[in-house]
Amino acid sequence: MAEIVIDGLIKSFGATPVLRDVSLRVADGEFVSLLGPSGCGKTTLLRIVAGLETQDAGTVRIGARAVDDLAPKARDVAMVFQSYALYPYMTVAENIGLPLQMRRLSRAQRLPLIGASLPGTRAIRADIEAEIVKTAEGLGIGHLLDRRPGQLSGGQRQRVALARAMVRHPAAFLMDEPLSNLDAKLRVKARAEIAGLHRRLGATFVYVTHDQTEAMTMSDRVAVMMEGRIAQFAAPQTLYDDPETLAVAAFIGAPEINVLPAKRRGDGAVEVAGAVWSAALPDAGGAELHAGVRPESWRIAPRAAHADPAWLAAEVRHIEHLGSETLIHCALARGGHAVVARVEPALAAGFRAGDGASLAPDTTKVLYFGADGARLRGARPMAARIQPALAHHG
């Protein structure tokens, strides 16, 4: 196990900058995900840590030593690739045991005929075989040791790749989208297996993904990368509840956060599509803002004439029934902005496409951003003033 410290990494491919002064500290035994859209630099960052790419500037430390001048095999990390990188002509056992053979057997001892007769070879191979079996059994693939990769499913191949990494007992595991080739059902199971593996080993994990569900469900912390920079590095729930920028807020969460144009009033309140929400915002350097409302933060009711200025008039456009929850897609009467509300199925049963609706947020959970996308923070706002007759709809 080891801490990984990344300091000021810069990397370009030709004239195209890929990493722009990236710094990151992964604690010993921590599970950190690098999350971001395609092309944001997350895989390049992982490959630099592994020694498969060379940075233009900056340093990488693993444990107590700088590894910038070390070859990949000397960095004591195990890489699990998106493609699994298994040798098709080897059995599962041979694929898993290959790192141990390369490390523990001399070149002469690895020779097919002569090697077996050399002193110590038999004992070393017995130890390697025992570790292969133990590791494979722990991942539920002990019965597959005699098969070749072409005879395995995608989920089984993914476990073989994990087993091959595990037998080395590395200081850190580096994983580059290892679940992207699995179907949805297998990904759910594989996520649980990788999280369980991390708990059992207590090792340092750095995991690259573009799938926020993977990052949010498995990680201690998540580094959101955008355009070659780390936009925010925090615990999963912090990214959702307390994003630093509009870009992070929009990237984290499904369905996406509802973003509406807003104006800050002189009294500190905010006007959004004709409604007035209490916010107690500081001077934002301009009246134009963005208001972000998570789908579950909406209160929705049948359209009625509300004296309360916090409510927005809307029309239901589409309803998605997802079993445990329902998504109600609406268009605001003023401005036509599309919004999505996440509600319980019992509440959604009272709405149909084409119905009028009224929406108001829990104003304690509305997120505000300046014109430049930076988060604006103010005093805790008062709760939305919801009419007593409609309180049961929230």
Instruction: Give the CATH number of domain 4-238; options: 3.60.21.10, 1.10.340.30, 3.30.1540.20, 3.40.50.300.
Output: 3.40.50.300
User: What's the topology of domain 243-392?
Assistant: OB fold (Dihydrolipoamide Acetyltransferase, E2P) (2.40.50)
Kindly report, residue by residue over 61-117, the tens digit of the pLDDT.
Answer: 999 899 999 999 899 899 888 887 899 999 999 999 998 888 888 888 888 878 778
Q: How far apart are CA 126 and CA 50, in angstroms?
A: 30
Residue 360: which residues within 8 A CB-CB, separation 6 or more?
Answer: 275, 298, 299, 308, 310, 311, 312, 384, 386
- The rounded mean pLDDT for the chain is 88
Q: What is the pLDDT of residue 306?
A: 58
Residue 388 pLDDT > 60: no
Q: What is the pLDDT of residue 381?
A: 42
Kindly report, residue by residue over 249-258, the tens digit of the pLDDT.
Answer: 999 999 999 9
Kindly report, residue by residue over 12-61, the tens digit of the pLDDT.
Answer: 999 999 999 999 999 999 999 999 999 999 999 999 999 999 999 999 99
Q: What is the mean pLDDT of residues 227-242?
A: 96
Residue 246 pLDDT > 80: yes
- CB-CB neighbours of 68 under 10 Å: 14
Q: How far apart are CA 170 and CA 196, in angstroms?
A: 17
> Which tops the pLDDT comparison, 106 or 394?
106
Q: What is the pLDDT of residue 165?
A: 87
Kindly report, residue by residue over 300-336, the tens digit of the pLDDT.
Answer: 998 865 567 889 999 999 999 999 999 999 999 988 9
Q: What is the pLDDT of residue 380?
A: 46
- Sorting pLDDT into bands at 50, 70 and 90, what band is 378? low
Kindly report, residue by residue over 126-166, the tens digit of the pLDDT.
Answer: 899 999 999 898 888 999 999 999 999 888 888 898 889 88
Q: How far apart are CA 131 and CA 372, in angstroms?
A: 55
Domain ranges of the chain: 4-238, 243-392
Q: Where are the alpha helices (DSSP H) in 91-227?
A: 92-104, 121-138, 154-166, 184-201, 212-218
- Sorting pLDDT into bands at 50, 70 and 90, what band is 394? very low
> Which tops the pLDDT comparison, 313 or 384?
313
Percent over 90 (pLDDT), the chain? 60
